[in-house]
């Protein structure tokens, strides 16, 4: 009887996580899909457009820096619900607001809250689904990918004006309220905490720390660069039609979606570290060649999403191999928030670089970032050993 109750509660948590992941996946992709709509409606330069992305990642930085500590100190269920409430406030700004400033503030709240929710789910999975955390993490991120690629493929075809932007956010707001309702009735296992204050010095002194910053930082630029800038790259750089550019973008994130489902059992079999190396090298090579060849090899760039699919959730899971469970949330928050600075700095300068060099030439920065990601990953694998 107890096992049945426990199993039922686990299903409720999984449903809550799944609904939230679909909503967050769709929400995060809208920024890139509606970039041209924003540019026309608010009469923005490329530099001003890049500020939308920069503000979004500034939200990541703030939320992860503070949120990781909250997760280690307070009830994780209520931290999750509170963070989801902040996301809802951001969505309301999208729906009710009608200015560039309200758009920026909404992006700060929604993207920051979304990243913290993603990280929270990644941290909670091993405690709730202890039998196969690698499998469940990748299945949940597959579900998130349904939201991302689905919105890119469906919404991307009809993203004609600002009214459609508001309508899509109304739908996502309704779905998030359903996810919150499931979360209220869920049970999250408690993790025993040490009484002493969590030491950030201890987190930073870990030999894995600096490598994680570089790995996540360069990977963020490479993946998020596709999410935020591929539409403009496809239209202005490769001279593709809008629907064709949207199609290639949906293939990239559709591959990420499908790959997380296809390769989740393989990740469980190979192990976290070996999976990151194998998939990182193959996917990274396709990504680099895909950008290098322009229109001739753009299909390889789109296809690389399938192989790169497992990297982010598995990298986050890998952090737990190098830190004690009592400080995992804080360590993850610090690492990802500092790595987010790479995104912020990149997007601060990318708009100006595009205005100067054009989108085609500027996009090579993403290629270089992927190469630096692979280099950091290889050095990390050779130099740092698992301490736990």
Of the chain, the percentage scoring pLDDT greater than 70 comes to 89
Residue 258 above 90 pLDDT? no
pLDDT in tens, 279-312: 999 999 999 999 999 899 999 999 999 999 889 8
Give the pLDDT score at 82. 92
Statement: 2-190+198-383 belongs to CATH 3.30.590.10? no
Alpha-carbon distance of 270 to 134, in angstroms, equals 10
DSSP secondary structure of 88-153: HHHHHHHHH--SHHHHHHHHHHHHHHHHHHHHHHHHHHHHHSTT-HHHHHHHHHHHHHHHHHHIII
Distances (CA, A) of 171 to 22, 62, 91, 354: 12, 27, 10, 34
| Residue 74 burial (C-beta neighbours within 10 Å; 0-12, 13-18, 19+) | exposed
pLDDT in tens, 335-360: 888 888 898 888 888 878 888 888 88
- pTM of the predicted model as reported, rounded to 2 decimal places: 0.73
Q: Spell out the domain ranges in the chain.
A: 2-190+198-383
Name which residue leads in pLDDT, 114 or 67.
Answer: 114
pLDDT in tens, 223-232: 988 877 888 8
**134 with 264: CB under 8 angstroms?**
yes
User: What would the two tokens of residue 258 be?
Assistant: 């499908």
């Amino acid at each position: 009887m107890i096992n049945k109750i426990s199993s039922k509660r686990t299903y409720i948590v999984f449903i809550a996580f799944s609904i939230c992941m679909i909503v967050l996946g769709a929400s995060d992709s809208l920024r890139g899909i509606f970039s041209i709509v924003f540019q026309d409606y608010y009469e923005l330069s490329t530099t001003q457009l890049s500020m939308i992305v920069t503000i979004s990642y500034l939200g990541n930085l703030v939320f992860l820096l503070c949120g990781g500590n909250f997760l280690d100190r307070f009830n994780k269920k209520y931290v999750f619900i509170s963070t989801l409430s902040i996301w809802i406030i951001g969505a309301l700004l999208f729906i009710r607001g009608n200015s560039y400033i309200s758009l920026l503030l909404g992006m700060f709240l929604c993207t920051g809250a979304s990243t913290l929710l993603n990280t929270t789910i990644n941290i909670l999975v091993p405690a709730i689904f202890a039998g196969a955390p690698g499998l469940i993490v990748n299945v949940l991120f597959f579900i998130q990918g349904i939201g991302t690629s689905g919105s890119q493929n469906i919404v991307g075809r009809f993203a004609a004006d600002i009214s459609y932007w508001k309508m899509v956010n109304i739908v996502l707001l309704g779905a998030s309220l359903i996810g919150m309702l499931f979360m209220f009735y869920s049970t999250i296992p408690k993790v025993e905490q040490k009484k002493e204050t969590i030491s950030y010095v201890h987190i930073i002194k870990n030999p894995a720390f600096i490598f994680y910053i570089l790995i996540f930082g360069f990977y963020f630029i490479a993946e998020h660069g596709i999410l935020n800038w591929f539409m403009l790259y496809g239209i202005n750089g490769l001279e593709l039609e809008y629907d064709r550019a949207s199609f290639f973008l949906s293939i990239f994130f559709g591959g990420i979606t499908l790959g997380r489902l296809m390769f989740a059992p393989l990740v469980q079999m190979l192990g976290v570290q070996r999976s990151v190396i194998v998939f990182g090298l193959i996917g990274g090579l396709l990504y680099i060649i895909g950008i290098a060849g322009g229109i001739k090899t753009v299909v390889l760039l789109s296809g690389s999403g399938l192989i790169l699919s497992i990297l982010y959730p598995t990298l986050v899971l890998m952090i737990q191999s190098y830190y004690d469970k009592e400080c995992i949330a804080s360590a993850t928050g610090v690492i990802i928030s500092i790595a987010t600075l790479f995104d912020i700095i990149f997007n601060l300068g990318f708009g100006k670089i595009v205005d100067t060099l054009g989108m085609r030439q500027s996009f090579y920065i993403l290629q270089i970032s992927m190469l630096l990601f692979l280099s950091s990953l290889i050095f990390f694998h050779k130099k740092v050993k698992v301490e736990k």
